[in-house]
Amino acid sequence: EIVLTQSPATLSLSPGERATLSCRASQSLSSYLAWYQQKPGQAPRLLIYDASTRATGIPDRFSGSGSGTDFTLTISSLEPEDFAVFYCQQRRNWPLTFGGGTKVEIK
């Protein structure tokens, strides 16, 4: 099973600041990594797939980068609605696995 490790666990930032979230895989994923955003009481929402492709309707302040074992989700300038928990997920191998999540909270 591929283990995904996200860091930091919590990121405390102010609106307008840049957020940088990390996801590290226990083995190479090529580019088969997705990012999801989850707000309290809601289902996850797909943000990024194939490491760097934004899903339909996702604002361009969200960007993904990386390949192999190291990936980054960047939010260029945080909007109030962006504060949430973010998960990475790999589809390189079955079973599909998620990272433990990074909570982006208002400072």
67 binds another protein (CB under 8 A): no
- Specify the amino acid at residue 9: A
76 binds another protein (CB under 8 A): no
Nearest to 71 by CA among 85, 58, 88, 84: 88
CB of 6 to another protein, least distance (A): 9
Q: What is the DSSP letter of 80?
A: G
| Selected binder of another protein within 55, 60, 66, 106 (CB under 8 A) | 55
68 binds another protein (CB under 8 A): no
| Binding mask of the shown chain, residues 11 to 40, with x at each position contacting another protein by CB under 8 A | -----------------------x-x-x--
Dihedral of the alpha carbons of 104, 52, 42, 21, in degrees to the nearest 10: -20
CA distances from 21 to 41, 86, 94, 95, 107 (A): 22, 8, 24, 23, 16
The site for another protein (CB under 8 A) is made up of: 1, 34, 36, 38, 42-46, 49-50, 55-56, 87, 89, 91, 94-101
